[in-house]
Amino acid sequence: MKRFFSLALMLALLSAMCLPALAEAPEAISEAVEAEVAAAEIAEDTGLTVEGIGEAPAEEPVQAEAPPADGATAEAAPQAEEAVAVDTDAAAAEPEQAVAAPAVAAGPATGIRLSAEAVTVGVKENYAGLTAIALPEGSTLPSVSWRSDNEKYVKVDAATGRITGVKKGVATVYAKIEGGQEVACKVTVLKAPSKLAVTPKKLTLGADGMTAQLSFAVPKGCASNTFTWSSSNPKVATVDANGRITTVGAGKANIMVKAFNGKGGKCKLTVLGSPTAIAFPTPTLSIAVGQKTALDPSVTFSSKKAAAASIVYAISANSSDAGCVTLNTATGEITGVRKGSAVITATTYNGKTATLPVTVAAAPTDISLSDNAVTLGVKDVYSGLLANLSAPAGETECASTLAWTTSNKKVARVDANGVVTGLKKGTCVITATTVNGLKDSCKVTVRKAPKKLALSPATATLQVGETGQYKVVFPKNTGGTVRFATSDASVATIDDDGVVTAVAQGSVTISVVSFNGKKASARLDVSATNVGLPTNEYSSITSSTSQYREGMSNAEKLEYVIYMAQSQLGKPYVYGSGYKDDDPSGFDCSGLVYWSFKRINLKLKDTAHKQGYDDSQQKITSMASLKRGDIVCFNTVDDGADDLCDHTGIYLGNGKFIHASSSAKKVVISTLASGYYSRTFQWGRRVLG
């Protein structure tokens, strides 16, 4: 029998059908009944009818269309997700409906989706990873039936959904809830792997908990969803499900991985001794602001054969200023950020720890070595090469760590403290580099060790308070470092460069010994007797004329020359220096004379020989006739020639002169009263009359 209802009644019934919890809402039921009665009354008045509503069969669920062979996927799952999203928005907009949402989630599912839209399996692989998920999320999943559209390639368990790859190809697997929606997944079947390539193939680790990560690759065109890791010797190492190795004890093991079909690959693992201690190469470290330094601790192992230890670095919480450095915790590289102190810790993988106090200081602004040239003998060890560092303005200290290098390791080596050892005949350059890259170098000449020595002069006389210079004479093509000594320091003293100072009247023996034990000696008499030096009015040899001006007298100009020469006292002896630079780093003998007179715009000859033989200047033939500011000329080759000049200086008065001494290795003041320079004096040249 047909029943006719008004449009209003139909809408009311449809609305009631959309309320899942209607049976639990009496108010809603009453309203629906009232609406039905009202609608019937309206129908009688208006004649509006809707046919078949009361007898309509249940609506068929939307079915996913089977995807074509090219892998197109069904639209049902996305539609279901969109439906859930819409319901959620409605609940948010209407608080009364949101309260009823838990009852909806707890009810039966209205749809499903699959855990993947496409999967790949190997031939003969059983894959249980494809699952059906109830929609809306959290609802109860009804029974699901599974089917394959082509069992030639893919079979599926109708009850569990477990997939089995049959042969290479593509099929579609469908899942359908009872009396409702069906969704699809594309399944591609590839060959089963014949092997797996493990990386690395070989590995050496330390015992006692060192770890490493292995990886593997499946051959192209093959597939597997199941991989199993194992160790052939768990007493040597274990491996987890992800291929991460953890060592146990020393020995060997194969770490293997297998696919579903038992095919796989392996890594040959060797486990050696474990770390027993770790130490930094120095007890402390000084770096500069902005300097990067890689820490390099040494590790002691439990056996002679050992692997590199895995080390983790950290800044200790006990640091007084942890922020003065930054640290790469994996590599151990530190960078100075600001002045301060911090403590760095290095810890091996098995818990052995070392600490290193680090001080960050200002970066130096200059470096100069104590020697620019040194002659050593074979097997000679020289520890006198020192570096002087200049701190920035306003700072009293700077980073003092130096890197020492040699240009030829076969000729001479240098250690971390700048100690140089001669190895074989030849020359090389030793370079010191500051933490911020500043450098200075010293030329090292290595000669054969001497078989004998001589000391020059063999006899000498000095007045009390005067100084003299002793020179060691080596056999041809030999050389090396020497040590001077005096038999009585109360009469005369002598320094490391052979400069002797008369202290009191008497006689002493000056001796010298080479690095290989060869010895020589000379006699020195100290007296108060004048030996014929010029007498003059100068009470002091020091000049106070520090400014040059136009219109100076010759005497004033000479005072300025002397002032400038004396301002260079202590500058290193550098062969060939002083002729071109306004502010050179060092001088040779004629270079100091040339540079000093150039300060008054007077250009002299540029070698000692030329300065000594410049006949444009008056020649002074005796020491007694010398005047302050004269050039003094010497023959230092000891070949008996009386007409040779190979060394020059500037006379200061009172028997003293200033010069760049190759023996003293610097600019010094020496005496003409007696000794070496008294004996080797040739003549003088008067630059300004």
Comparison of pLDDT for 269 and 393, the residue scoring more:
269
DSSP single-letter state for residue 297? -
pLDDT tier at 48, thresholds 50, 70, 90? very low
How does pLDDT run across 82-141, given as a tens digit for each residue? 332 323 233 333 333 334 444 444 588 889 999 999 999 999 999 999 999 999 988 988
pLDDT tier at 638, thresholds 50, 70, 90? low
For residue 71, with 0-12 CB atoms within 10 Å meaning exposed, 13-18 middle and 19 or more buried, which class applies?
middle
Token pair belonging to 634:
């010497």
* Cα atoms in the Cβ-side hemisphere of radius 13 Å centred on 388: 8
Residues 572, 371: Cα–Cα separation, whole Å: 7
Residue 227's pLDDT is: 97
Residue 21's pLDDT is: 36
Average pLDDT in the 465-470 region? 83
Residues 373, 483: Cα–Cα separation, whole Å: 18
Number of Cβ within 10 Å of residue 221's Cβ equals 9
Confidence check: pLDDT of 644 > 90 = no
Helix (H) or strand (E) holding 559: helix 554-566
Residues 292, 294: Cα–Cα separation, whole Å: 7
Distances (CA, A) of 309 to 170, 293, 298, 312, 672: 50, 20, 10, 10, 67
SS (H, E, C) 593-621: HHHHHHCCCCCCCCCHHHHHCCCCCEEEC
45 Ramachandran zone, left/alpha/beta (phi>0; psi -120 to 50): alpha
CB < 8 Å & 24+ apart, contacts of 561-566: 561/596, 561/597, 561/599, 561/600, 561/629, 561/650, 562/596, 562/628, 562/629, 562/650, 562/652, 562/658, 564/595, 564/596, 564/599, 565/592, 565/596, 565/650, 565/658, 565/667, 566/542, 566/658, 566/669
> Using omega within 30 degrees of 0 as the cis cutoff, is the peptide bond preceding 219 cis?
no
DSSP single-letter state for residue 124? T
Confidence check: pLDDT of 686 > 60 = yes
pLDDT tier at 178, thresholds 50, 70, 90? confident
Q: Where are the beta strands (DSSP E) in 227-351?
A: 228-231, 237-239, 244-247, 251-258, 264-272, 275-279, 285-288, 292-294, 298-301, 311-315, 325-327, 333-336, 340-348
Comparison of pLDDT for 86 and 449, the residue scoring more:
449
78-92, 228-242, 364-378, 494-508: least confident range: 78-92
Nearest to 421 by CA among 410, 437, 432: 410
Confidence check: pLDDT of 540 > 80 = no
Contact 560, 600 (CB under 8 A): yes
pLDDT tier at 675, thresholds 50, 70, 90? low
The whole-angstrom distance between residue 350's C-alpha and the CA centroid of its chain comes to 24
Number of Cβ within 10 Å of residue 305's Cβ equals 10
pLDDT tier at 18, thresholds 50, 70, 90? very low
Query: What share of the chain in percent tops pLDDT 90?
Result: 60
pLDDT tier at 654, thresholds 50, 70, 90? confident
Confidence check: pLDDT of 431 > 50 = yes
Question: Cβ contacts of residue 111 below 8 Å, gap of 6+?
Answer: 61, 76, 77, 80, 83, 134, 135, 177, 180, 181
Number of Cβ within 10 Å of residue 18's Cβ equals 7
Average pLDDT in the 142-159 region? 96
Strands of 506-514's sheet in order across: 459-463, 519-527, 506-514, 482-486
345-354, 371-380, 578-587: least confident range: 578-587
Comparison of pLDDT for 486 and 39, the residue scoring more:
486
Nearest to 121 by CA among 130, 111, 112, 131: 130
Residue 87's pLDDT is: 30
For residue 333, with 0-12 CB atoms within 10 Å meaning exposed, 13-18 middle and 19 or more buried, which class applies?
middle
pLDDT tier at 534, thresholds 50, 70, 90? low
For residue 302, with 0-12 CB atoms within 10 Å meaning exposed, 13-18 middle and 19 or more buried, which class applies?
middle
437 Ramachandran zone, left/alpha/beta (phi>0; psi -120 to 50): left
Residues 338, 58: Cα–Cα separation, whole Å: 80
Comparison of pLDDT for 654 and 17, the residue scoring more:
654
Token pair belonging to 571:
């500058």
Confidence check: pLDDT of 538 > 60 = no
Residue 550's pLDDT is: 86
Token pair belonging to 383:
């520890």
Confidence check: pLDDT of 313 > 90 = yes
Comparison of pLDDT for 14 and 300, the residue scoring more:
300
Average pLDDT in the 610-618 region? 92
Residue 554's pLDDT is: 92
Computed over every residue of the chain, the mean pLDDT equals 82
Average pLDDT in the 167-195 region? 94
Number of Cβ within 10 Å of residue 671's Cβ equals 24
Residue 468's pLDDT is: 86
Contact 143, 177 (CB under 8 A): yes
Residue 117's pLDDT is: 96
pTM for the whole structure: 0.44
Backbone angles phi, psi at 136, to 5 degrees: -65, 160
Confidence check: pLDDT of 573 > 70 = yes
Confidence check: pLDDT of 66 > 70 = no
Residues 687, 611: Cα–Cα separation, whole Å: 10
